[in-house]
Amino acid sequence: MFSKSCEYGLRSIIYIAQQSAQDSKVSLATISEAVNSPQAFTAKVLQQLTRNNIIKSIKGPYGGFVIESEKMDTIKLSDVVKILDGDSIYTSCGLGLNICDENSPCPLHYKFVEVRNQLKELLETTTLSMLVHDMSIDVFHLNL
């Protein structure tokens, strides 16, 4: 479904969001430990999210990553996916055709559109604050 970069990015950002909601910033080491992802590789992913103003990085001792609280309910999962994987998962043809739309559909087009749209809907309607507030951390995990 998603690339490893995107999987690590999504897990990381959900974790950072949970921690930022409690006013605690988290280091790369803490994040990669918490979401069970390779540290150096995760660093690259977080750099991309930082450059794109999704998260804020703080250098130096006691540094780490945070998400500013006012951004929590504007950042959607689709923003993260778009940065890390592009939006081809929910725009491109299931059979891999370059041209496939209403006007010139592949045999699976109409059925595929439904699946794609449901995924798109899911990613575009889920904000970080929803993931932080609607879910108890006891029930939902990020690291197995």
Partner DNA sequence: TTTATAGCGGATAATAATGTCTTTTATAAA
Partner DNA sequence: TTTATAAAAGACATTATTATCCGCTATAAA
Residues forming the site for its own copies (CB under 8 A): 1-2, 4, 7-8, 10-11, 14, 77, 89, 92, 94-100, 104-109, 111-112, 114-115, 118-119, 122, 126, 131, 135, 139-144
- For DNA, which residue of 13, 17, 35, 46 counts as binding (CB under 7 A)? 46
Residues 6+ apart with CB under 8 A from 123: 76, 77, 78, 81, 90
Of 21 and 97, nearer to its own copies (C-beta) is: 97
Contact 11, 33 (CB under 8 A): no
Residues from 64 through 103 that contact DNA (CB under 7 A): 64-65
Which stretch in 15-23, 39-47, 98-106, 112-120 sits in contact with DNA by CB under 7 A? 39-47
CB closer to its own copies out of 29 and 122: 122
Q: State in angstroms the smallest separation of the CB of 16 from its own copies.
A: 13
Q: Binding-site residue total for DNA (CB under 7 A)? A: 26
Residues 117, 123, 128, CA angle at the centre, nearest 5°? 160
- Distance between CA atoms of residues 63 and 25, nearest Å: 8
The whole-angstrom separation of Cα 138 and Cα 144 is 14
Q: Which of 44, 40, 38, 124 is nearest to 80 (CA)?
A: 124
Of 27 and 125, the one with the shorter C-beta distance to DNA is 27
Residue 45: name the closest of 59, 65, 68, 25 by CA.
Answer: 65
39 interacts with DNA by CB under 7 A: yes
Our CB check for DNA shows the closer of 58 and 122 to be 58
